[in-house]
Amino acid sequence: MQKLVAYYLVVVNIWTFLLYVYDKRQAVKNLDRVSERKLHFYTLIGGGIGATLAMVLARHKIQKNSFMVRYYLIMLLWIVWLVLYFSEINPLNFVM
């Protein structure tokens, strides 16, 4: 199960990174863009590392305050979930 989760996270982070870089390229060329909703969705489902790398390396979306607020909220949700998961208050204990 842990391998499956690891593979999932690798794939979703690579995909998220590529999606952000593609959106940056489209923005530079003034062509159709990837919606912010889609970018946030992939960040939310586990692509936070890919999103962060793309934002830093491609300098994409980092000056748009409304986007960054939502990005930070998503990352905060992940941090809270990880802290709870690795602490004694495991959120999965409530589900299973």
Task: Map out the domains of the chain as residue ranges.
Answer: 2-95
**pTM of the predicted structure, to 2 decimals:** 0.83
Looking at residue 82, what is its pLDDT? 82
The full DSSP string for the chain is -HHHHHHHHHHHHHHHHHHHHHHHHHHHHT-----HHHHHHHIIIIIHHHHHHHHHHTT-STT-HHHHHHHHHHHHHHHHHHHHHHSSS-HHHHH-
- pLDDT tens track for 32-81: 999 999 999 999 999 999 999 999 998 888 788 899 999 999 999 998 88
Q: Which residue has the higher pLDDT, 48 or 87?
A: 48
Looking at residue 94, what is its pLDDT? 57
Looking at residue 89, what is its pLDDT? 66
Q: Which residue has the higher pLDDT, 77 or 93?
A: 77
